[in-house]
Amino acid sequence: MNKTRLAFWGAALCALAGAAVMLVPQGKVRGFDVDAFGHLPVLEGGRVKPVDTVARNALLMIRSQQSFRHEGRTIGADEWLLDVLFRPEVADEQKAFVINDPQVLGLMHLQQTGDRYYAFKTLRPFVEEIQRQGEQAQQVDPKQRTPFQNAVANLYDRVFLYLRLENTVQLAQTPGLAWELASLGTPEAATRRAALSEAAYFRPFVSSAASTNDAWQSAGEALDAAARGRSSPQLVAWARMSLAYRAGDPASFDRAAAEALAAAGAAQPGLVAQSGHELVFNRAQPFYVGMVVYVLALLAVFVSWLWRPEWLRPAAYGLLVAGAVIHTAGLASRVVLQGRPPVTNLYSSAVFVGWGAVLLGAVLERIYRKGFGTAVAAAAGFASLIVAHHLTGDGDTMEMMRAVLDSNFWLGTHVVTITIGYSGTFLAGALAIAWTVRRHLLRGGGDPATSKAIMGMTYGVVCFALFFSFLGTVLGGIWADQSWGRFWGWDPKENGALLIVLWNAIILHARWGGYVRERGIMAMAILGNVITSLSWFGVNMLGVGLHSYGFMDKAFWALSAFIASQLAIMVFTVLPPRFWEAGAFSRAAKPSSAPAAGK
Amino acid sequence: MPKPSELRSTLWDALTSLKLTIACMAALMVLVVACTLAQVRLGTFGAVDAYMHRWVVWWDVPGSPWSFPIFPGGALVGAVLAVNLFAAQLRRLELAWRKAGLWIVHAGLILLVAGEFVTGLYQVETRMAIQEGASANFVESPRQSELVVVDTTDPASDDVYGVPESLLARAGEIPIPGTPVTLRIHGYYPNAALSMRQASDPPAAATAGVGTSVAVRELPPVSRDEETNAPTALVEPIAGGRSYGTWLVSSLLGAPQGFTHEGRTYQLVVRPRRIYLPYTVTLKKFRHDVYPGTNIPKNFSSLVHLSNPSKGEERDVLIYMNQPLRYEGKAFYQASFGNNDTLSILQVVQNPGWLLPYVSCVLVTLGLLVHFAITLRRSMRRQAATRAAAAAPAAVEAST
């Protein structure tokens, strides 16, 4: 085996082995089999999912993290949810809430400190005030809210979610589910059961009823059924889990959790396997791992330009391929779990854009073998996964599709093609940025052959992007014609797609006509980044139109900063040769020196 | 002074130039951006009307009656682009197999622009709102209103005479065909607000009906998608040389107002403009499904019965998301609902050019595929040739 192959396979297999380590279960926590609890299937947001998903998303919404440190120990989402459900007095002591707004803190008579996290115990005396302020703020149109109103409305939502969780399986101020089950006939029991049904955040009890609407019951509803003499084995098992967890009896808890899982599986076969798959997916965190691998690939490419390229360039490519494999596996798992095409919301569009760019970049690297394909692909993959990571804050990323979007055919064609179009445009922009950076850092602007190769790649990718964005846009028009009777309604999102098509067409025609040369095309490709980011995220900030599936206002500054950075890079791109011929790393101007990279 | 032939060739050069293509596409980008931003202020309909469906974009000087043309409108840019595409195709692209892809692409694009023109000119969007169990044999315009004079004398059927808003705006006298009644228009407001008359208000212009106790305040017309105008008019019905007083009519007044002339009773109502259909649609069942345990809508559907006696058609149709009913040149879409899920609102669109984009899409996709396939093959060949030529020096570089 030669050096290149060895480096490629060595790096790729190391990265994949690292990813596989994530699949190992976390093991027992304080003796309790938390994984078995996380495996239990429940219904939340109209979708069957493992408790683990509910726990992770809830903690993500409340604390913006999936685990946290408390009293010298890391508390995972599942353990946190167990405490919230069964030991609320313990959960109330844990700092689960992140609060950044000084005015909201002031509302609770708190001064802002370095620690942004607060326990519910601290918030409890002000719950009524938070509700009053929050409800008031929520009546204001989201676009007109002040920062304080935004923050207090958000905190109110999170407090509400927390309180619902505490009262989902058993009411927080009562001895627990087992006691509830023992006192079904007492006078206040019916009132308590009604309160439980009202508060329930998820439905843990499944029957063998055919339709999903009737199959799932909240704790209150299941207790009602038990009061009528139809007690479910799952209810009994959950009651025992609650009792054992409170009592600190891991052996009984593990047995009860296994029984609850078995009982759910007995009610509807296939349920246990389904939630098990999602549990593994949650644990693997493929997009997080992919992000790390992409960064490693990027670093390897950078170092390869200065040191040992014969080893590091193939190693970087190996890392990129491993990242792409992990990324693909994650994407495929989502498709299988959700039973839908890969792009269903803003989050998944970011994941998919990155995936498309990585694949394209990997292909370019195969063709041109200069390390630039790897660098650009890894950077694009990393950036889009970071963007996706910041879009997860809204909770479940596999939410159900609203009526008009409930069409796998159109999600699979229009949405996927248009997103590939975004990928292509971004990749062309990234290549152009790489071209610019190279030109300014290397002496003499680097060797002309590589410049020409990057130029060729950019041109090819723009063609690719034009094809997919045009096709996606027209398919979108046809979907619109199918669903609300107009092929083209000049809706902001449609207009954004049209801008991308027009811009790519302008780049190609300008090149064919010979009106722009290398620098011009590169600058235009970078402006493509600006246009794509605007049509991807910017139009959602206008708050008008029919594509309101991903309204967002938080990202405004991030988007502005991105656009400013692209415009700044464009200035460097168009600078004539005399600005870069010297090269950033050479003191004396030696335009005629050797073209080989940074010696 | 250039010769006519020179002038012709200069014009031909300009018309077929690639620069014109690029300029048109750039202008279209500017228009699209402006139109998108304007939607926040004007609503989609208003913005599209101001930027896209016009030949020229006008700038109204604030606080003055003047307006200046500042930019070519969408229609002009589209037309120039289509002509340019067509002309350039004729002149520059030779009829060769290696250009086949581009030929197909440009034919498809011309068709796409043509389709948008057909849509802009001929598309009619209306709505049909039906209560469960009820029938409708007409569609309503969401933006235009009409003043109708209804002869309600016969309890079995009403005779309806409609006066469109455009006629009301022209003022003067309007004879109602088929009746002895002539309407004299005393005032017309495209949009107005009504309130109960206070002592401080000027005397009412109306002399009969509810209008005598109502004050009218004229409002600027709105164009935002979620707002509607309230057209209001002052009319004086005259029949047989006799005046029946001046009446205030408005879309805001729910209850019908009427007068009797020679034993026949006439009512005056302002309502959305209706277009009657030669068939009837009956709503049998409206469904609004949600995902369990949430308020997220899963599906909306209307089960309707279509009855067209002239063609002997009697059948049930299920209209649901992404599945319109296409019938007699109109397409019925599930658009909205109301009244506690018992009222279904269908969007009804008539567009003779609806198929053009489909054809165009197929053509352009095919053309681009063909073209890029040809280009890719050529570039692969060139690449292989360069690699073969560069093999020796590359090996040297790798070993340093």
- pLDDT tens by residue, A558-578: 888 889 999 999 988 888 877
Residues 575-594 of A with CB under 8 A from B: none
The Cα A515–Cα B21 span in angstroms is: 12
H or E stretch covering B4: helix B4-16
Confidence of residue A231 (pLDDT cuts 50, 70, 90): confident
Q: Which residues of B touch A407 (CB under 8 A)?
A: 321-322
- Condensed to tens digits (0 to 9), the pLDDT of residues B321-333 reads 878 888 888 888 8
The stretch B112-138 carries a mean pLDDT of: 87
CB contact under 8 A, A542 and B36: yes
Average per-residue pLDDT for chain A? 84
Enumerate residues 70 to 109 of chain B having a beta carbon within 8 A of any beta carbon in chain A: none
Please name the residues between 104 and 133 in chain A that touch chain B, using a CB distance below 8 Å.
none
Structure tokens at B307: 């009855």
Q: What are the beta bridge partners of residue B238?
A: B182, B243
A vs B, Cβ pairs < 8 A, gives 162
Bridging pattern class, strands B67-72 and B124-131: unpaired
Token couple for A404: 């008009």
Cβ distance of B18 and A456 shorter than 8 Å? no
* Residue A339 sits in the same domain as residue A427: no
Looking at residue A71, what DSSP letter applies?
T
Q: Characterize the bridge pairing of strands B232-239 and B181-189.
A: antiparallel
Could you give the CA distance from residue B84 to residue B80 in angstroms, rounded to a whole number?
6
pLDDT over threshold 70, residue A552: no
Distance from CA of A197 to the nearest CA of B (A): 11
Q: What residues in B contact A506, CB-CB < 8 Å? A: 22, 25-26, 29
Do A502 and B28 make contact, defined as CB atoms within 8 angstroms?
yes
| Contact status, residue B159 vs residue B267, Cβ threshold 8 Å | no
The answer on A300 and A241 residing in a single domain is no
Name the residue facing A487 among B26, B357, B375 (closest C-beta): B357
CA distance to partner chain B, nearest, from residue A78 (Å): 22
In a domain, A403, yes or no: no
How many angstroms separate the CA atoms of A423 and A387, rounded? 14
Assess if residue A277 is contained within a domain.
no
Sequence-ordered list of residues with C-beta below 8 angstroms from that of B266, at least 6 positions apart, any chain: B149, B150, B151, B152, B179, B181, B237, B258, B259, B260
A462 domain-assigned: yes
- Give A532's contacts in chain B (Cβ within 8 Å): none
- CB pair distance less than 8 Å for B125 and A491: no
Residue A402 touches partner B, C-beta closer than 8 Å? yes
Q: Which of A300-309, A403-412, A585-594, B216-225 has the lowest mean pLDDT?
A: A585-594
pLDDT value at residue A548: 44
Query: What is the structure's pLDDT at B396?
Result: 45
Asked which of A115-119, A398-402, A468-472, B36-40 is least confident by mean pLDDT, the reply is A398-402
Domain count, chain A: 3
pLDDT of residue A445: 66
Q: Inter-chain contact A478–B351, Cβ cutoff 8 Å?
A: no
Q: Are residues A134 and A183 in the same domain?
A: yes
Q: Is the same domain home to A229 and A120? A: yes
Considering only CB atoms, A216 lies closest to which of B292, B369, B379, namely: B292
Cα distance between residue A479 and residue B322, in whole Å: 7
Average pLDDT over residues A19-32: 83
Q: Which residues contact A526 (CB under 8 A, 6 or more apart)?
A: A429, A432, A433, A436, A566, A569, A570, A573
Whether B299 and chain A come into contact, CB under 8 Å, resolves to yes
* Contact (Cβ atoms closer than 8 angstroms) between residue A506 and residue A520: no
Q: How far apart are CA A130 and CA A158, in angstroms?
A: 11
Identity of the amino acid at A568: A
Residue B119 has pLDDT above 90, yes or no: no
CA distance B324 to chain A (A): 7
Q: How far is A22 from chain B (nearest CA, A)?
A: 33
pLDDT at A581: 64
Confidence of residue A553 (pLDDT cuts 50, 70, 90): low
pLDDT, tens digit, for every residue of A364-402?
888 877 788 888 899 889 988 888 887 776 667 777 766
8 Å CB contact between A51 and A39: yes
Tell me which residues of chain A, numbers 442 to 481, contact chain B at a CB-CB cutoff of 8 Å: 456, 460, 463-464, 466-467, 470-471, 474-475, 477-479, 481
For the beta carbon of residue B46, count every other beta carbon within 10 angstroms: 18
d(CA A32, CA B124): 66
pLDDT > 70: percent of chain B:
94
Torsional sign, CA B167, B173, B178, B179: positive
> What distance in Å separates the CA atoms of residue A330 and residue A293, rounded to the nearest whole number?
14
Q: Does B360 touch chain A (CB under 8 A)?
A: yes
Tens digits of residue pLDDT in A37-82? 999 999 888 888 899 999 998 998 888 888 888 888 888 899 999 9
This model of the complex carries an ipTM of 0.78
Q: In terms of domains, do A236 and A379 share one? A: no
Q: pLDDT band for position A587 (50/70/90)?
A: very low
Assess whether pLDDT exceeds 60 at residue B400: no
Other C-beta atoms within 10 Å of A567: how many?
Answer: 14
A441 and A422 fall within a common domain? yes
Residue carrying structure tokens 């002009």 = B76
- pLDDT computed for residue A224 by the predictor: 86
pLDDT digits (tens, 9 = 90+) for A311-357: 888 899 999 999 999 999 999 998 888 888 888 888 888 898 889 88
Residue A111 lies in a domain: yes
A469 class by beta-carbon count within 10 Å (0-12 exposed, 13-18 middle, 19+ buried): buried
B282: confidence class by pLDDT, cuts 50, 70, 90: very high
**A365 lies in the same domain as A425:** no
Contact B18 A509 (CB under 8 A): yes
| A433 Cβ under 8 Å from any chain B Cβ | no
> Is A276 inside a domain boundary?
no
Q: What is the DSSP letter of B183?
A: E
Are the CB atoms for A504 and A425 separated by under 8 Å? yes
A506 is a domain residue? yes
Alpha-carbon span A184 to A223, nearest angstrom: 8
Distance from the B127 Cα atom to the nearest Cα atom in chain A, whole angstroms: 11
A593 secondary structure, DSSP code:
S
Band of residue A501 on the pLDDT scale cut at 50, 70, 90:
very high
Consecutive H or E run containing B343: strand B343-350
Residues A186 and A246 placed together within one structural domain of the fold: yes
**Together in a domain, A214 and A97:** yes
Do A257 and A297 sit in the same domain of this protein?
no
- Domain hosting residue A530, numbered range: 409-548+559-585
Residue environment code for A21-30, b if the CB has 16+ CB neighbours within 10 A, otherwise e: eeeeeeeebe
Q: Which residues of B, range 6-25, sit inside 8 Å of A by Cβ?
A: 18-19, 21-22, 25
In chain B, residues with a C-beta closer than 8 Å to the C-beta of A44 are: 293
- Residue B113's pLDDT is what? 85
Structural domain boundaries in chain B: 4-122+355-393, 128-134+276-350, 143-274
Tokens matching residue A23: 């699949």
